[in-house]
Every structure is written in C-alpha cells, then in structure tokens.
Amino acid sequence: MRGANSSFSLMNTKLITLLSLLFLFIVFIILRSYGPKEQPAYVKSQNCPTSCDKIPSTLSEALIHYATSKTTPQQTTHEIHVTERVLRRKSPCNLLVFGLGHDSLMWDSLNYGGKTVFLEEDKKWIATMKSKFPNLDSRHVTYDTKVRNSDNLLNSAKGTKECEHVIDPRESNCTLALKNLPKDIYEVEWDLIMVDAPTGYHVEAPGRMTALYTAGLMGRNKDDGETDVFIHDVDRPIENVFSKEFLCEGYLIEQVGRLRHFTIPSHKARLGRPFCPTIVSKN
C-alpha cells in the first residue's frame, strides 16, 4: 500500500479523495440540519468540544491532511471509485483492510461511523502512522509464508476438501487459512474486505496468498448476506491467480485497473453452495 505513485495520476487521485470527503461532510451537514429549525441572528462561539453538534474531528482531520499533503493514495482515481461506490451504499459498516498506508485515513473517513480495522505486518510503520493518526485502528499481524513458495502453496491447496470447507479460519485445516489474527477480527461479520497487503513484490516477502484465501473464507462463513472483497495489484501473478482460484471468477463483479471487486455470498445462508459457482458461457 506504500509503493510509488505515478506522477500523471497524483492530481486526479487527490481530487477524488477530497471530493469524497467533502461529500461526507455535506451529508453530515444535511442530516444535522434536517427538519425545521429557527435560525439565530448570529452564531456565538461555544466552548463545548464534546457535546456540540460539530463536524466530526476525524473528518476534519482527513480533509486537512489530504488538502495539504503531497503524498496521495496509491490507488488510481478510477480504482478508488470502485470501493467508494460500495462504501457510499453500505457505510457505516464493518470494513477490514489488509495493509496500512497513505490511503488509510481516507478509507476510515469514508466509513465514518462504522468499524474500520487495518492489519499491518510492519510494527515501525504502525508506530509512524499512529503518531500522525492516533484514531486509526491498526493491528500488527505476522505471516509465515514466502512469495517463493507460492506455487507449492497453490498446488497443495487448490481443489482440496480442506480448503473448500467453509468454516471459521481458526478451525480450518487449509494451509492457507490465517489463524493468528487478533481474536476480535474473527468475531466480526465484515461487510467489506480489502486486500492490499502484506508485501508481495520480492521472493522473500510474505505475499498475499493467505490474506486472499482468508478474506474469501470469512465472506463465505458469514451467517447471512454478502461480503464485498477488493484485491489490489492483480497485475502481479499471485494476486491474479489466487484471487481467481479462491475468490472465484464466478463471484467477480468488475476489474478496474489493478483492482478486482468480488462479491462473496454467505454459504451458511444457503447450504450446499459449491465453493466456486459454475461460470456460464456467454456464447
């Protein structure tokens, strides 16, 4: 989530970020003003930071940050739009993000009033972000996989009964299931999950194999409803292959740039669902 940005997209990305946050601000103002109200002749300054009906500090912090920062989110404008449209419809909701980056304050603000948690592998980076944005809920997680072993992991998991069994990841026998996440992560029914970490651009990096599989398993293991899962960097082999295999091409809603959007239905709500739906040929 912390890679270099393409210079040609910086302004567009900053613009969409600011517009999205301004949209939230406008909605907040409209809701606050709903209904007939007698308007005062003038406004008197109020010294009541916790009880007055003001713009939430998290939103004002985000607006100031993105308006003044030279560092913009790593996703392009069009990629951000994909998730933002779903958040606009579902928020406030439960949003789980694998990764902590320059876009984290944006996602947290776009899900204002909801639960947003970031899972990050780098303790130092967590400390850096917490010093800037102490309100972000970021958790340290570890991975025991390596990019260089991804082919073996794929071959040992693909099509196996253990990996197609829908269950709490902590109880799964699939080699790809993450079992060491913070306890409360398993106890929340996530509405949106974004996989933009861990690191996966060199052979000794952990790669996103287990994060991708576990995101899909969490969606299937919900009691009811659907989970929107977003995968970034699908131009890379692991993100491309593992998302198609374990999130399933039949659940793919759209791909914009390097971002794929899957909608995973609950397999508990309708028992007997196949792990992946049959893809009907359009020919």
DSSP per position, 94-148: EEEEE---TTHHHHHHHTTTSEEEEEES-HHHHHHHHHH-TTSEEEE------GG
User: What pLDDT band is residue 178 in, cutting at 50, 70 and 90?
Assistant: very high
Is 187 within the bounds of a domain? yes
Within a domain: residue 272? Answer: no
| Run of H or E residues at 265 | strand 259-265
CB 245 within 8 A of CB 237: no
Determine the distance from the C-alpha atom of residue 281 to the mean position of all C-alpha atoms in its chain, rounded to a whole number: 31
| pLDDT beyond 70 at 17 | no
Q: How many domains does the chain have?
A: 1
Residue 49 in any domain: the answer is: no
User: Within a domain: residue 22?
Assistant: no
In a domain, 24, yes or no: no
User: Could you list the residue range(s) of the whole structural domain that residue 247 is in?
Assistant: 75-265
**Residues of the chain above pLDDT 90, percent:** 69
Residue 89 lies inside a defined structural domain of this protein: yes
Confidence label for 70 from pLDDT (cuts 50, 70 and 90):
confident
CATH number, position 212 = 3.40.50
Rounded-to-integer distance, Cα 52 and Cα 81, Å:
33
Would you place residue 45 in the very low, low, confident or very high pLDDT band (cuts 50, 70, 90)? very low
The pLDDT of residue 58: 67
Residue 85 in tokens: 């449209």
Average pLDDT over residues 131-154: 97
pLDDT of residue 74: 80
Is residue 260's pLDDT more than 90? yes
Q: Give the confidence band of 177 by pLDDT, cuts at 50, 70, 90.
A: very high
pLDDT at 246: 98
Q: Can you tell me the distance from the alpha carbon of 235 to that of 61, in angstroms, rounded to the nearest whole number?
A: 33
Q: How far is CA 217 from the centre of its chain?
A: 15
Examine the pLDDT at 41 and tell me if it is beyond 50. no
Average pLDDT over residues 271-278: 92
Residue 107 lies inside a defined structural domain of this protein: yes
Query: Residue 9 falls within a domain, yes or no?
Result: no
